[in-house]
Structure 1
Amino acid sequence: MICGTDEAGRGPVAGPVVAAAVILDPNQPIAGINDSKKLSEKKRLQLSEEIKAKALYWAIAQCDAVEIDELNILQASLLAMQRAVEGLGVTPSKVLVDGNKLPKLAVPAEAIVGGDGIEACIGAASILAKVERDRQMLEWHQHYPQYDFAKHKGYPTKFHLEVLAQQGPCPIHRRSFGPVTRALAQRSTDELSG
């Protein structure tokens, strides 16, 4: 009952940070699991379905932009992982966490730097988290198409930062992040001088 947990979405300036927790079935190994960033989108989607079908237990949780602004991105990431582990509906014997910090858990846990490329259960969690976050950003694109979330998923690309500067942030932008703070400051300056 070893659980792996990982998050996706620490770097973007918009959208939630999403975490997953996975307990794989040793009798149903899944080929090709790796750090989600090293897999193509097509491969991630395929593996995500296989993980959900074959894992003993899995759960997905998140912290939205408001919580990220209140807590900071590190604490929000850890809280999302804690929520995912608690959402499994079963108590794992141990939790393996990607990175060098541990969420607050009631069970033994170990932080492993680069764990998503070493431990299959962490890699599986990284895939579920990334696929779910990307799915949500595609949905947000429908609400706020001007930002083109479908393309950059909320990461601070040149285009995203230009639109942010012109239009200001939308409700899913993380107001505590530098580019969003600067866009807000610029807009209030423009309004005062306008």
Structure 2
Amino acid sequence: MKIIGIGKNYVSDLSEMPKGKVIPLIFTKPDSSLLENNADLELPAFSDDVWYEVELAFRIGKTCKNATLEDALLFVDAIALANDLTAKDVLKQSREPNKGPWALAKGFDGATPISKFLPISDFSDVKNINFSMTVNGIETQKGNSSLMITTLAELIVYVSNVMTLNPGDILLSGTPALGADKVNSGDEMLGYLEGEKMFHTKVK
């Protein structure tokens, strides 16, 4: 199973939507980064600057290769809410010449807290899904899938034309344009999908 993410995929208002073709910024995360069942998060010792990014997560239900816009959504069977944690200090180093890969900044153990999955049939329109996150009781991020620059269908088409998507693979669809911030020891992060609490992560 693989986790595929997309960077910088949200605008804060539809008026900010870019014109013309956009090439999505794709990265992968190992399945060992998953943090399930509301387990506590232990911050990695190698970073002093881990940030949270709440995201919609879509699960592939059947083998997908060379999808089209017309059939792309047929390969998705469930939706969850995830937190794409990033070690910003490590990421900054990896962007400099001759430094390490993004995988170190986004792939550490526990870097992807994730909720249970809900059947996609529970959602009437994947282009209109509300989600949010609170940290210590304060709402920090709020988004709607209508603000995605690369839609879910476009993401599936783009990725499946490069690599086969297998049942159980997870697509992280990007975080809202505003609100991502640093994670601190003692924080409690709660994620909500259409108003329903989906995950609760305590930070050690």
TM-score tier by shorter-chain length is: under 0.3
Please identify which structure carries the higher helix content.
1
Q: Highest Rg: 1 or 2?
A: 1
Please identify which structure carries the higher strand content.
2
TM-score normalised by the chain length of structure 2: 0.25
* Bigger relative contact order, structure 1 or 2 (CA pairs below 8 A, ≥6 apart): 2
TM-score normalised by the chain length of structure 1: 0.26
